[in-house]
Amino acid sequence: MNRTISGSNGLRGTIIVPGDKSVSHRAVMIGALGEGVSEVRKFLTAADPKSTLECLSALGIEYDVRDDVVRVHGRGLHGLRRTDRALDAGNSGTTMRLMTGILAGQTFPSILTGDESLSRRPMRRVIEPLSRMGAVIESSERFTAPLRIMGHFPLKAIEYEMPLPSAQVKSALLFAGLYAEGTTRIIEHVATRDHTERMLGLKTSDAPVGHVVEVEGGMKIEPRQLVVPGDISSAAFLLAAGLIVPNSEITLTNIGLNPTRSKILDVLRSIGGRIEILDQRTVAGEPLGDLRVRSSDLEGSIDLSGAKVAESIDEIPVLAIVGAFTKGTFTLRDAADLRHKESDRIRAMVDNLRKIGIDVEEREDGFAFEGKKDLLAAEIDSFLDHRIAMSFGVAGLALKGEMVIRNAECVDISYPGFWEGLEQLQHS
């Protein structure tokens, strides 16, 4: 399905952003390993979290869904059941990596597979440390799915220093640590999103070696009630739209403001973005608040490298769009991992930015360009990547003419109703 976006005279209104995808995945996994019924409110009913639910169901976990509330009937750490069919993670890298950590410590074998896109994404970074814990995992020669996980209990507790920042790899190791003898210690030089640690109530500390997270093997997980905050990675697209479309004022409600996720606010404010945080509070251990964004005269440079890349990895495509409308430069370095997301996001952004009139220098680990006033609406290839589609949908609102987004339905991976939300803000 193609989507045509026309330039807007202004965006106004209040909008509810879907629940956080990262939190939704982890909440139902932890609920499944808990001993009793857990309730997850404002669960993101998008394709990726549904893949996690379907994998858990195939492993014997019962759940029921009513609107955006999921009740998970946990069976404890050792309550998962063997299935003879492959577990399908769909397009979800989070599902595949985190479930690998859980399945590594079972007493039965499992197979994890995914769609064509996910089956091209490398899993070596999670396979190698899990193997050090005693897991036996077979993959393709390129360390891609399908993954054949033999299951080994108990695993061996390790101290693991993360060579590259990755919340998915860290969470997979923390889940595997639940099935290990002793205490597993994960050391991060760049702190990544910490939802898993918060939900499990794990011990964390800062040391000269870096940020340390510890998990004790065999810890009992109590059932719980969780409220999923609005996804700041999804809110980022609307924040960008509010900034670059003239005569705009948008309020986004109940947005997660976890400090490991909210660096995008600092980046946008640093170039003059007018963003206010209203009614800041803490719900179920996660900070959240309402965000009010107004159209702004953006000026200055966006320079993302090192830790800044890890802190804003999902928001980089839309930050590049903001950079295109800014009086300044955009520079991305140290982001080679973007070539292994739902698409090669570096190539996807470079190709599409050039189509709208930006002179982009592509590098192996990023790209760079100068913002420009006279940009052009064009026909854009989403590369079946939800973040590419939404980023250029936002750009289309700030351009004259019509922007066509090919295969625009891919946004359902993380933000069902995104296009309808944009229409709502244009007609408020």
Query: What is the helix (H) or strand (E) element at residue 98, kind and residue range?
Result: helix 93-104
Cis before residue 154, ω within 30 degrees of 0?
yes
Measured at the CA of 373, the angle between CA 367 and CA 378, to 5 degrees, comes to 70
Choosing from 20, 194, 231, 314, the catalytic residue is 314
> Are the beta carbons of 342 and 313 closer than 8 angstroms?
no
d(CA 176, CA 158): 10
Minimal CA–CA distance to 98: which of 63, 62, 49, 47?
A: 49
Tell me the DSSP string of 363-399: ETTEEEEE--SS----EEE-TT-HHHHHHHHHHHHTS
84 is catalytic: no
Residue type for position 248: S
Pairing of strands 62-66, 286-294: unpaired
> Are the beta carbons of 349 and 320 closer than 8 angstroms?
yes
Matching residue, tokens 């810890």 = 219
Backbone angles phi, psi at 354, to 5 degrees: -65, -35
Residue type for position 61: I
| CB within 8 Å of 391: residues ≥ 6 apart | 237, 240, 317, 318, 320, 321, 349
Minimal CA–CA distance to 156: which of 139, 169, 173?
A: 173
d(CA 29, CA 70): 12
Q: Give me the active site residues, please.
A: 314
